[in-house]
Chains A and B, each alone.
Chain A
């Protein structure tokens, strides 16, 4: 979309909600921002114009959001919030289409196309004629484990309800229509959430302040403009919660139906809603009846009520997996809320003030618990190949409600830092939508970028629970502490402390780390290949590494002294590391070798003979 259209849309936004002097001041501020941007553009003509334009657009919206939150003359209602959301999401959709849709998105669209053109769910002909598909993907193929029919029908593992919802939009405008349908659910979600806040007695000024950080920040922003069931699910969940809170059967019953039809996993949410909110037997029976419907639908399509899942998945597993999953959702650098949606850290703070939060918030959290409990131990708790926090998007309106209810008690310094970080995340996601997807290798986009700038392992400063690192438990502990520490105080030093953490973290990261993961970006690869390949299914279950053949080499920062090299090699290999040669005998399973680095600094590991898959190198000080 032309940036002129986006600029015009941004100029319309203040008219929706601002009046009088607040409106004039907002326009003056926006004018100043644009002039300043033009001056910077004049002086840095080589700066990526797309990134520059996206940055200016996001900052312009941030200026508007500030006036919306703090202005004196503001017209505010759920409908106005929805109108603002509609404008912003309409501008965001084209940005998301800089690259073809990814993850589960093309499969949902493929099912929609099958419904629209063939009136069935069999995708066999769709896979054969991908050139005519609006997915823009020629590389699609059935995923391992996708259901097959008795006569060779090829079904998708994705539940068909979302595709059904996309059908009218798709019929009208193809891919754009499908995306507009999701955005429409986003708009409805925003409206419902603001109405929910009103229902629960949240003051208008708190709702106005929370609104942009909820609706136009990760994860909602990115899921409202891409084809995933998460935002429609969030809408149905909020409507269900509003329905049961207001005891309106006509609201919660269809909402619960929509929720469970979107994804089988939401049946757990529905059970939570039934268990925590419905008191009457008739209502519970109705709700449980609804819960059964998706199982029947999936049985009819795939011959199995649980689709690609197994009943054994609901059996409890080892406690540590729950702990890792929970800590990961909180603190993981790639997929945790602390780094990918930091605004919801304040939701944790709201949890610490449980008794002072609205009843709707408490019920929403309780209703989600069963689902979250089953999510935590799964190997893909982080969402797999999807934008961050996929599996918990539907809880975000609940957390937003809790945050709004505690707005006056939140640390202003922390809010400022979080707002800044959120603006950066929005700019990054809109300018580089493909980076919303990240392979599960223990790094994240920011860590990789800083690592390549500094030629050092900056990624290790970000907690990872996907590939456990040293920062993981420290990070999780810090998040838990933050949950209690985010309260408003007289001497709020959150901003300078954040600055200090940033600088100290980077300074420390420039020293060699105790562990070198050979597939990481800070390791300079001269030949060799990534293991497993980039898009391997369930990549997270492999020990990642870098495969070297004779002549290939790696350069990286390492600590001096003895270390342990973790590797696997079929034919055996001879390597040279920091000037010393080592023979690695053939090993059918991962094994270790002792190596010595003469002194700390940049070293080269060269494969002289044979081939070896190098997993990592641990400095001896770090052995546990």
Chain B
């Protein structure tokens, strides 16, 4: 439908109308809902560079806002709409990779509005340079977006990642690497991230989380105790309890498999991998952390957009039939570190 494209003034009017419509539609208070007008402008920009039919994403965004009161479902629907529009744009207009990369990064990193605008602008520029160096193909767009997306930009030296990618890309081009298109894998990768752009920070820092079914809002028997090295805590197991929810404190530098505690009876060993440092996925601490995402993550999703993170709690199965359990923090825990017993998770009634 490119032959039906609007004039520049028409596109500006379309963007303004779309933003106004989304502004009127906002019913909820999350930063993603509040940013709907911004999203509508970006979607209109997608339509401008690719296909006017993509403007349909705006009424769909409004429909999702109006009709889906459940926050998780609504934000996922918004992401899905944006992702599909983006994928269609890549297919319809694969050579506008520069604009597409900027739009993707604005969606992934600029909601909520970043505190360090200068760093974000630098990242955008770096991503654009990568896209141009690799030939403005869908593959170039995916590489540029990935290099900028996965960089926490905190501390500043993490900007080395996109710079390194840029150097490698330039070297590859100098040594004769052809302009790869790889349209389908490229748009699939970026569309995946965009699907969850409401929690893009978590996509960047704990991607496997989104490939697992979400845990339903659990019923918890709260304990909230922190155990220093060698400290033990005896707990009566409540009726219907199926797992213990544990996390670490001040252990982000521990690597996978490091022992953090034990559960008796059965002398079950609790390791990094079963649990993680409570705040290791926060943007400010992630760079220094070596923790992996817990195998059975029980953390709560916090924040939105690139500020989203998940606390490092993990579920550890209880010894079968035990009426009482004893949780002991491992003797090797350094000073200041602790094993946190958050509570029991009860089976849904």
Q: Which residues of A contact B (CB under 8 A)?
A: 28, 32, 36, 39-40, 42-47, 412-413, 416-417, 420, 449-450, 453-454, 488, 490-493, 495-500, 502-504, 506-507
Contacts and interface: CB of A to CB of B under 8 A. Distances in A.
B59 A43 contact: no
B52 A503 contact: no
Contacts of B1: 412
A498 B59 contact: yes
Contacts of A412: 1, 4, 52-53
Interface stretch (B65-73, B130-138, B142-150): B65-73
Interface string B15-56: 101101111110000000000000010001000000011011
A416 B55 CA distance: 9
A496 B188 CA distance: 27
Nearest to B72: A44
Interface in B77-105: 80, 83-84, 87
Interface in B1-15: 1, 4, 6-7, 9-10, 13-15
B154 interface: no
Given A32-B188, A36-B191, 5 more contacts: A40-B195, A490-B7, A492-B52, A495-B56, A496-B15
A461 to B, nearest CB: 12
Interface of B: 1, 4, 6-7, 9-10, 13-15, 17-18, 20-25, 40, 44, 52-53, 55-56, 58-60, 62-63, 66-67, 69, 72-73, 76, 80, 83-84, 87, 184, 188, 191-192, 195, 210-214, 216
Contacts of A493: 6, 10, 13-14, 17
Q: Which 3 A-B pairs have the closest CB atoms?
A: A491-B10, A496-B17, A503-B25
Contact of B55 (A40, A45, A490, A496): A496
26 contacts: A32-B87, A36-B80, A42-B211, A43-B210, A44-B76, A420-B60, A450-B66, A450-B67, A453-B66, A453-B67, A488-B4, A490-B10, A491-B13, A492-B6, A496-B17, A498-B59, A499-B17, A499-B18, A499-B21, A500-B20, A502-B63, A503-B23, A503-B25, A503-B62, A504-B21, A506-B24
A499 B80 contact: no
A45 B188 CA distance: 22
Contacts of B56: 416-417, 420, 495
A584 to B, nearest CB: 37
Nearest to B11: A491
Nearest to A446: B67
Indicate the member of A47, A490, A500 with the most B CB atoms within 10 Å: A500
Given A39-B195, A412-B1, A500-B17, A495 B213 contact: no
Contacts of A490: 6-7, 10
A36 B21 CA distance: 27
B9 A413 contact: no
A504 B55 contact: no
A496 B53 CA distance: 11
A416 B213 CA distance: 34
Contacts of A43: 76, 210, 213-214
Indicate the member of A417, A493, A496, A498 with the most B CB atoms within 10 Å: A496
A491 B9 contact: yes
Contacts of B23: 503
A45 B56 CA distance: 27
Given A44-B73, A495-B59, A502 B10 contact: no
A32 B183 CA distance: 13
A371 B109 CA distance: 61
A502 B52 contact: no
Contacts of B40: 499
Given A502-B59, A504-B24, A496 B4 contact: no
A507 B14 CA distance: 20
B211 A416 contact: no
Contacts of B80: 36, 40
Contact of B59 (A40, A417, A450, A488): A417
Nearest to B3: A412
A contact face: mostly helix, strand, loop, or mixed: helix
A30 B60 CA distance: 20
A28 B187 CA distance: 13
B285 to A, nearest CB: 26
A458 B346 CA distance: 41
Contacts of A502: 21, 25, 59, 62-63, 66
Contact of B25 (A36, A46, A47, A507): A507
B21 A496 contact: yes
A499 B40 CA distance: 10
B213 A499 contact: no
A413 B52 contact: yes
B12 to A, nearest CB: 10
Nearest to B4: A412
Nearest to A29: B91
A503 B33 CA distance: 14
A496 B14 contact: yes
Contacts of A492: 4, 6, 10, 52
Given A36-B84, A40-B76, A499 B58 contact: yes
Contacts of A506: 24-25, 66
Contacts of B15: 496
A496 B14 CA distance: 6
B6 A491 contact: yes
A504 B24 CA distance: 6
A453 B69 contact: yes
Given A40-B80, A488-B4, A499 B73 contact: no
Contacts of B9: 491
A275 B52 CA distance: 46
Nearest to B55: A495
Given A42-B213, A412-B53, A502-B63, A496 B18 contact: yes
Indicate the member of B55, B80, B87 with the most A CB atoms within 10 Å: B55
Given A28-B184, A43-B210, A503 B22 contact: yes
A500 B24 contact: yes
A146 B12 CA distance: 63
A486 B1 CA distance: 17
A95 B220 CA distance: 41
A343 B206 CA distance: 45
B87 to A, nearest CB: 7
B336 to A, nearest CB: 37
Contacts of A498: 59
A495 B212 CA distance: 36
Indicate the member of A42, A45, A420, A491 with the most B CB atoms within 10 Å: A491
B198 to A, nearest CB: 11
Contacts of A504: 21, 24
A116 B224 CA distance: 74
B213 A45 contact: yes
Contacts of A450: 66-67
Contacts of A420: 56, 59-60
Contacts of B21: 496, 499-500, 502-504
A488 B17 CA distance: 19
Contacts of B87: 32
Contacts of B6: 490-493
